Every structure is written in structure tokens, then in C-alpha cells.
Amino acid sequence: SQTIHQWPATLVQPVGSPLSLECTVEGTSNPNLYWYRQAAGRGLQLLFYSVGIGQISSEVPQNLSASRPQDRQFILSSKKLLLSDSGFYLCAWSGGGEQYFGPGTRLTVT
Amino acid sequence: QKEVEQDPGPLSVPEGAIVSLNCTYSNSAFQYFMWYRQYSRKGPELLMYTYSSGNKEDGRFTAQVDKSSKYISLFIRDSQPSDSATYLCAMRGGGYQKVTFGIGTKLQVIP
């Protein structure tokens, strides 16, 4: 069966610091991968999605970036965090139909 | 107008009640429909996935799709306190990999 992992689970970072969140998927090959941010009262916001290694589509222009160095690895990064980057970050995968989510990373920027 | 409209609630019901959760959408290209359950501070969990009009049943859950009215529903029978969570509807077009989500309805089942 397929499993999706995210780490860390919780992160507190100061403004201006860098960020690296990692997501890995097990039990499937060539998945579509997604990064979402969920803010209170605002629903799920799609940030990036990837249909293959090195292929990244950005949905929201901001100070975040994503990379896919391996087939089942998806990384979300920032060089300098802003207060507005606080939120719940979710990675998801899809085999072409429905999407499955990871456990999420709760990021607080102070 | 948002592509997907969902009442955020909160919705409070007594234990054992039938719960009806709904979403409307405006994009006629949507063909695949999903319902997710999200507990506080957890990732969304896929409950139901359907691509045709009509009903799909799984245990106490029934998903209903009416493409002509652009309206989808999730029914929960014999609701339990453990059903207390936020329920998100989601949908996508046939050739697209991006999914559009509703804002989620917060449900509380009172013992």
C-alpha cells in the first residue's frame, strides 16, 4: 500500500530564516505530487505541483520554491521566511485520480 | 463567484442523527468528486471518490452527485462523536491534475 511521509511535524522559525520541508511517498512510482498550504478559515491553497522529476508548476508567486530531486521526493523551500508564511503545509500525491494527503507540517514564523 | 461553494458551518447535531453536507460548483468541466474528512491538526483523509452522477455508498457514508444541478452531497447515517471533524469537498476536471477544494464544513456530533 502507498504511504506518504512529511517532516518535520512541527516547526517554529524566526522571520528571515530559511525553510526546508520534505515529503516522500512509498509504494508507488511516478506519482503526481502537490504542496498545499492551509490557513485558518481560508481552505486549501495549492502552492506547487509536479508531474515528474524536475517538473514543477507554481500556482502562487511568493517567496517559496519547490523541487523534486527524486521520483518520490518533493521538497518545499524558502530562503527567507515571512510572518505570512505561517500555516499548515500539506503534501499530497495522486496516481491520476484521487489525491492522498500526508500528515502535514505546522509552521509558525515568529 | 468561487468555483466551489461550501458552507463552513459549524454544524452541530445530536449523536445518531443523519448529517447532510453539501457543495455547489460552477465549473461544468468538473467530472471527479471527492469528500475528505480532516481531524484537527491532521491531514485530510479521503472518504469517498466518485465520477458519475448518482449515489455511492460506503458503510455509513453516502456520496451523491447531481451534475445537472452542479450539486454534491455527503450523507452520514447514525452519526457518532468520532465523526466530529471538518469535511471538505473536492473536484477536478477530466484532463487536469489539479483539484479544487471547498473551504470545509466543521461538524460537531454531540453525545
Write out chain B's pLDDT in tens, 111 residues: 789 999 999 999 999 999 999 999 999 989 999 999 999 999 999 999 998 889 999 999 999 999 999 999 999 999 999 999 999 999 998 765 789 999 999 999 999
- Residues B60 and A52: their CA atoms lie apart, in Å, by 37
**Of all residues in chain A, what percent carry a pLDDT higher than 90?**
83
Is the pLDDT confidence value at A101 over 90?
yes
Chain B residues at the A interface, defined by Cβ less than 8 Å, are 8, 32, 34, 36, 41-46, 49, 88, 90, 97-99, 101-104
**How does residue A43 score in pLDDT terms, banded at 50, 70 and 90?**
confident
- The pLDDT, as a whole number, for residue B47 is 96
Q: Do B97 and A104 count as a contact with CB atoms less than 8 A apart?
A: no
Decide: B21 and B74 in contact? Cβ < 8 Å.
Answer: yes
Q: Give me the pLDDT at residue A1, please.
A: 85
Q: What pLDDT is attached to residue A98?
A: 87
A41 touches chain B (CB under 8 A): yes
Of B49, B98, B104, the CB nearest to A97: B49
Partner residue facing B101 (CB), from A44, A96, A100: A44
Q: What is the pLDDT of residue B58?
A: 95
What are the Cα distances from residue A48, in Å, to A57, A68, B23, B98? 6, 11, 25, 10
Starting at the edge strand that comes first in sequence, how are the strands of the sheet with A19-26 ordered? A3-7, A19-26, A73-78, A64-70
What residues in A contact B8, CB-CB < 8 Å? Answer: 41
Residues on chain A touching B34 (C-beta within 8 angstroms): 98-99
pLDDT score for B1: 74
Question: What is the reported pLDDT for B95?
Answer: 66
